[in-house]
Amino acid sequence: MTTKNQEQRHSPPQQGTRPAPRAARQLGELWAAYLADRADQELRNRLVEHYLPHVRRLAVSIAKKMRIRDRENAVGEVLLALVESIVPGYDGQSGFDRWVRVCIKRKLIDQRRAEQKDEAFFVDAPSEPDGSSVFDLMPDREPSAGDLRFAELTAELSDRQALVLWLRFCRGMSLEAVAALLAVSHTSVKVWTHDAISALQNRSHNCPSEGLPTYL
């Protein structure tokens, strides 16, 4: 007979809303397997895929409260950290939800500091005799009016497709680098990228006014 203390000792890390008992048990078993063998990147990827929607929502919420200007990039950096450090760095002791919040806040604080540094750099930039900034001479690098915000653009894609698109086109990572990071084959990355772009092209065809972003 399983005691209450035994159930608590084997319970999985919390993730916002407590999952159903069977799902919680499966998640706990997945964590136990990964913590016993952190070199198993397939287990890591399964955990990343499980927590991706929760982490994305949490990052968006915190980024709004922190008034981060480039929220899409900030959230993308958090999702990358989920793969590189948040899941791999979890010690299995404290609640995972608490660990996630700490990691997200640290990442977004770094992002906000970088933005403030950039803002100060542009404010202090030297001016031309006519009063214009030297940066006014640079070509416009802002997205075109037809571009959609990344979160809206990928809303109907799977989490895996959205993550691959972010790494490939927003982060500028090569196919080989994405495959190495996610510990999957080049073919898998190609298939996920192709399926995601095809879905976006179909959406653009059905809603011509929306268009596709310039980086695709």
Residues 159 and 122 in one domain: no
Kindly give the parts of the chain with pLDDT less than 70: 1-19, 117-149, 151, 204-216
The count of structural domains within the chain is 2
Interior/surface letters 168-182, b for 16+ CB within 10 angstroms, e for the rest: bbbbebeeeebbebb
DSSP 166: I
Residues 117 and 165 in one domain: no
Q: State the amino acid at position 161 in one-letter form.
A: Q
In this structure, the chain runs to a length of 216
Q: State the amino acid at position 118 in one-letter form.
A: D
CA distance 212 to 175: 21
Contact call for residues 177 and 166 (beta carbons, < 8 A) = no
Residues 25 and 124 in one domain: yes
CATH number of the structural domain spanning residue 70: 1.10.1740
Residues 169 and 115 in one domain: no
Which residues, other chains included, contact 167 with Cβ-Cβ below 8 Å and sequence gap of 6+? 80, 173, 177, 178, 181
Last residue of a domain, one of 84, 105, 131: 131
pTM metric for this prediction = 0.56
CA distance 171 to 169: 6
Residue 79 sits in which domain range?
A: 20-131
Residues 26 and 113 in one domain: yes
Residues 116 and 200 in one domain: no
Last residue of a domain, one of 131, 156, 180: 131
Residues 96 and 149 in one domain: no
Residues 159 and 110 in one domain: no
pLDDT digits (tens, 9 = 90+) for 34-75: 999 999 999 999 999 999 999 999 999 999 998 888 888 889
What pLDDT does 57 receive? 93
What pLDDT does 90 receive? 93
